[in-house]
Amino acid sequence: MNGALLELYRHKTWATLRLIEYCKGLDGEDLDATMPGTFGSIRDTLRHLVDADDGYFADVTGERLSEPLADGPVAMDELAERVRRLGPRWEVSGPGRRRPEPRGDIRGRRLADAAGGAHGTGHPPRRRPSHAHSFHPRCARPA
């Protein structure tokens, strides 16, 4: 991983923890409220951010630090703990560390595919779905 990407992950870790800490002051009704045009509730959005970071780390390093989050509401403390555990691991996988060779399937695809192409396989690269559509009002989950 290059230095610029590592710096972005440092900032993302800091910002996500700040956001979670702020949201700890909200009551459950506020955390679970939804409104048209958003990606579910605040709790759902934070869960999505933390889950996605776990997945990105697995894509980049070939290792998974945590089991997927259980279905249902997740405590803010658990989300914060996952971010705190993952943050230092980006440092370990930072500049100078060789990325492992693709080791098979991670979330249904090879690491080579996740990196932008299935080199030498004759198959077109798979594209990671964009989350930008989640914020479009027509794509938001019903309240």
The closest alpha carbon to 90, from 54, 115, 48, belongs to 54
Looking at the chain, the whole-number percentage of residues with pLDDT higher than 90 is 32
The closest alpha carbon to 115, from 93, 131, 99, belongs to 99
**Residue 133 assigned ligand-binding role:** no
- Mean pLDDT of all residues in 3-15: 90
Distance separating alpha carbons of residues 62 and 100, to the nearest angstrom? 7
Decide if 46 contacts 76 (C-beta within 8 A). Answer: yes
DSSP letter at 101 equals P
Distance separating alpha carbons of residues 65 and 85, to the nearest angstrom? 8
Distance separating alpha carbons of residues 89 and 115, to the nearest angstrom? 19
How many domains does the chain contain in total? 1
Q: CA-based Rg of the chain, rounded to a whole angstrom?
A: 17
User: Is the whole-model pTM more than 0.75?
Assistant: no
Provide the domain limits for residue 50. 3-139
Distance separating alpha carbons of residues 52 and 76, to the nearest angstrom? 16
**Confidence class for position 22, pLDDT limits 50, 70, 90:** very high
